[in-house]
A and B are shown apart, each in its own frame.
Chain A
Amino acid sequence: MNTIVAAALMLAAARQVQSRGDDPNLRRIQAMLAKPAAMCGRFEQAKTLVGLRRPVKSSGRFCVVLEKGVLWTTVLPFPATLRLTKDEIVESHGAEVTKRLSAREEPTVGIINDLLFSLLQGDLGRLTASFAITSTVDDREWTAKLVPKDGGMKHVIAGIELSGGTFVRQITIREASGDATEISFSSIATGAAALLPDESRQFDLPAGSAPHPEDHER
């Protein structure tokens, strides 16, 4: 009798692991990633658009802060700021806000913020809910290919490719229309000190104090 119960419990436990899609590769990647509470760095982006001869390039700084959101500060070809939090997406040009989309008007603001946040942190575990993921991993490097599971999202995104080591180093987003965005990251710093005073202000943080400052650059 007891053995039957024990066997049933083990079966149930095994099924749970499976249903979470916990494949060993993903676990290794997760272990490798730093996932700090706050990190900033440089980005270089190239958009390849159907019908245009040259890709549209831009570069600047980005910050990802836990519980806050994502800050995307373009420096070249001209200054522009994009701030994503769970409540709103704000685009600004210098001091002037050029566009503001609140979660009240557009409920998917939170979802977009979640997606971008997970992508930048390389949080593949959270992304398994919406994407089928195939990955490769060795001691220092990993790559992952994400394909949307849901029919609705398939009409927009064809696939996403990620690669990196301790941090995500490159993201390629391929849209179903043929347009693609390729972003690479460098000079990544973590912890509270990573944020410039102006960046802290954007997240309503006191200058130089991001949450959980125990992380350090690896």
Chain B
Amino acid sequence: MRRGLARAWMAVVLAALLHNGWMWLVQRRTPETDLLALLPMDERDPTVGRAVANVADAAQQYFVVLVGSTDWTGARAAAAAYSHVLEAHPEWFGPVEQGALDEEQAMAPWWSRRAGLLTAADRRLLLGATPESWASTAMQNLTSPLGTGRIGAWQDDPFGVFRDWLQARAAETPVRPVDGLLRVDDDSMHYAVLPIRLRGRAFSFFAQQAVVPLLYEADSAAQRAAPGIRLLSAGIILPAAAAARQADHEMSTIGWGSLLGIVLLVWLALRSFRPIGLVLLSLGVGTLGALSVTALIYPKVHLITLVFGASLVGTAADYGLNYLCARVGDSRDPWIVMRTLLPGLACGVVTTVVAYLGLALTPFPGLQQMAVFAAVGLVFAWITVALWFPLIGGPAIQSSRLALWFGATRARWPVVNRSATTVAAGVAAAVVIAIGIMRLKPNDDIRLLQNSPPGIIEQEGEVGRILRAPAMTQFYVVRAASESELLVREEQLRVRLDSLATARVIDGYQAVSSWVPSAETQARDHELVATRLYGASGPLSRLATALGEDGTWVEATRRRLVAPAAPLTIKEWLASPISEPYRHLWLGEAGGEWASVVSLQGIDDAKLATLDAAAAGLRGVTFVDKIAEISGLLGRYRREMGWVIAFSYVAIFLLLLPRYGRRAWRVVAPSILASLAALALFGIVGQPLQLFHVLALLIIFGSGVDYAIFLIERPDAREGNAWLGVGLSAMSTLLSFGLLSLSQTPVLRAFGLTMLVGITVSMLASPYFCTDR
């Protein structure tokens, strides 16, 4: 029976092994490194979700390099050298966009509809200014030594209203085509702008591996071409690659560090390599099973899941160590030892799995993966211990000096009783904890989790400032039941944004309706131009007199310039290369709803309330602040998680009540004390409480309850082996999770610190509560 089960388990483990081999060696799967995949799907609003995805997609492909010098010729030479390197790799980089766009051809749809395109300023002037002043301004323009316009001849736009409209569109960006390149100036610096289209996703591991070295190569080529130039790059691939490199590096250091620590510990305590091999075997089976099942459930396993997987090593060692330490100096039949331990081990795994599965209650896909990975890993390791260890565990283990000494400390350990010392210690602990927890302040700002190297963030800020790049995380979403209604609603919003721009609250904005006004506005503007500008009593005839032209000329010019044209459409805008940098603003139609994004330039946190208020009362306009939204969500789940932990303690207490009766409170007391101590410490040192601290508390719950169960199963103070098992488990957990507090990733560091405090306290408190004397 036992051997049958052990053999059946062997089949399962072999299957997991084959599955893993197939995944990693044949399929060549790679872990997901997309940080966005760690964020929850937008819960409430599919349109906002679409807007966020659209903007994020545009951001992901966005990579821009500024090659700057006070000498434009130098900047041009360096930019050419930079592009030259990328052009050799068309598999990764789209052609570097140049300034030589045929503006006349690209703008043809607008040129032919120019009678219906007016800037807000010219519209006001047409309603307000006299025909005389229009005519004299037009005459004054003819005294200028400068040319008359960018497209067409003077007679095609004698009052320059289309030139004004083009100028307003151009003013949305400081970038200009100069000498066949895109150029932006900043004080005395001239920058050549190289917008680079990445083929492949910025978060894909392979793309990062291939692209980032090429970017460095291009950097040095540019430096060689014009020494002393200033190179600024921005694009999500840089922080993404840095984060992936970091996680990759830490996974190996923390993973190996924890393994090495555990090996050393077990060898020192048990003076044999067999226990090491056995513990490694249980951990290996646990990891294999975790990888298989997680990959079966989730198509893409995230790198963060694997980082946690490496850290799981510490926790899954608990069961094996409990069994192995029980056999120190005990020559009974291994199966008999296992049978006596089994109830405690079972309580241990059930409580820990319950605690880990609490992670699955969060909306974060990455954490759900971690929950599955952790729970499955623990169960696989546990079954391996229960079914295989008695078979292959070998004879009783010889006691070592360290093992004997450590086991004996339990007899001298203070225990909880009704003495004055206990009461004093309890009061002191309660006071410190109360003070600490009162000082504890939550801060859920997602930007606290940001982890990019400062150089990358700085460059990104510089590039954003110089290019006046619109914000990627805060924008308006406009929606309507039809395309035409959508454009009308955008225009209503733009009236408010124009006054915010005049008041210098924002630098500007980008909106589809700036390029394609609603059909109503086009018709109204066309009417205004036809009557006020080219109409019988308008400035055209006055201009003709000043120029010595007659009524025939006036009539011909009017007919030519106000010829009716079908209104400009979104379709034409989308088809023109002009819309290329703005296409992500257009969300199009989904489920009978039309939607678009209006993005904002030059905003900061202090302006968000004003911007939110600007949407008030406008139908179909929502201000989206993705940062506030995610931060709010983190806060909500931090609180919910807290309740999950509190209820878990109650549930476990009730679950353990039948077995431990009046002593059941002793099982939960060490972990509760440990959690409160960790929280108090953060309050005292002023570290803000985040979701990730609370998640660690959940794991402290699982491990701490294990320790208490293993000790209370054998409450005799002379039972040194149970205490030895707890000690080794806690030490190995500290080694693996304690190393996480060294991580550069803020999420992992917060988690690691909590574990460091919590596991230490729960280990030290377990014999205090769970020993009979």
Contacts and interface: CB of A to CB of B under 8 A. Distances in A.
A and B associate in one complex: yes
Interface of A: 43, 45, 47, 49-54, 56, 58, 60, 72, 74, 77-78, 80, 82, 91, 93, 98-99, 103, 105-108, 110-112, 116, 129-130, 149-152, 155-157, 171, 173, 175, 177-179, 181, 183
B548 A51 contact: no
A98 B137 contact: yes
B547 A52 contact: yes
B591 to A, nearest CB: 41
Given A45-B145, A173-B147, A107 B549 contact: no
Given A52-B547, A106-B170, A116-B146, A130 B179 contact: yes
Contact of A51 (B99, B155, B178): B155
B104 A175 contact: no
Contacts of A171: 145
B217 interface: no
A107 B176 contact: yes
Contacts of A179: 147-148, 153-154
Q: Which 9 A-B pairs have the closest CB atoms?
A: A177-B153, A51-B155, A151-B100, A58-B143, A74-B143, A50-B153, A152-B177, A150-B180, A49-B154
Contacts of A47: 142, 154
Contact of A157 (B145, B147, B154, B549): B147
Contacts of B549: 52-53
B185 interface: yes
A77 B148 CA distance: 18
Contacts of B333: none
Contacts of B610: none
Nearest to A74: B143
B10 interface: no
B153 A51 contact: yes
Contacts of B178: 108, 111, 150, 152
Given A105-B171, A110-B185, A175-B148, 6 more contacts: A49-B148, A116-B146, A152-B100, A175-B147, A175-B153, A183-B145
A171 B140 CA distance: 20
B94 interface: no
A106 B153 contact: no
A107 B176 CA distance: 7
Nearest to A183: B145
Contacts of B277: none
A190 B222 CA distance: 43
A107 B154 contact: no
B146 A112 contact: yes
A106 B99 contact: no
Interface in B152-175: 152-156, 167, 170-171, 174-175
Contacts of B100: 150-152
A45 B547 contact: no
Nearest to B175: A107
5 contacts: A49-B142, A150-B99, A150-B178, A175-B147, A181-B145
Contact of A72 (B102, B145, B553): B145
B184 interface: yes
Given A98-B137, A150-B100, A151-B100, A129 B154 contact: no
Contacts of B150: 155-156
A72 B103 CA distance: 30
A130 B73 CA distance: 11
Nearest to A70: B145
B171 A78 contact: no
B5 interface: no
A152 B151 CA distance: 11
A47 B155 CA distance: 12
A53 B140 contact: no
Contact of B140 (A91, A149, A152): A91
A116 B145 contact: yes
A155 B103 contact: yes
A78 B155 contact: no
A80 B167 contact: no
A150 B182 CA distance: 12
B185 A50 contact: no
A130 B139 CA distance: 30
A102 to B, nearest CB: 11
Given A54-B548, A106-B167, A111-B178, A152 B147 contact: no
Interface in B102-141: 102-104, 136-137, 139-140
B144 interface: yes
A179 B149 CA distance: 10
B101 interface: yes
Given A56-B547, A177-B152, A155 B102 contact: yes
Contacts of A74: 143
A181 B147 contact: yes
A100 B415 CA distance: 85
B508 to A, nearest CB: 10
B102 A50 contact: no
A78 B139 contact: yes
Contacts of A108: 176, 178
Interface hub of B150, B151, B174, B179 (most chain A Cβ within 10 A):
B179
A84 B152 CA distance: 24
Contact of A58 (B142, B170, B185): B142
A152 B180 contact: yes
A17 B145 CA distance: 34
B101 A152 contact: yes
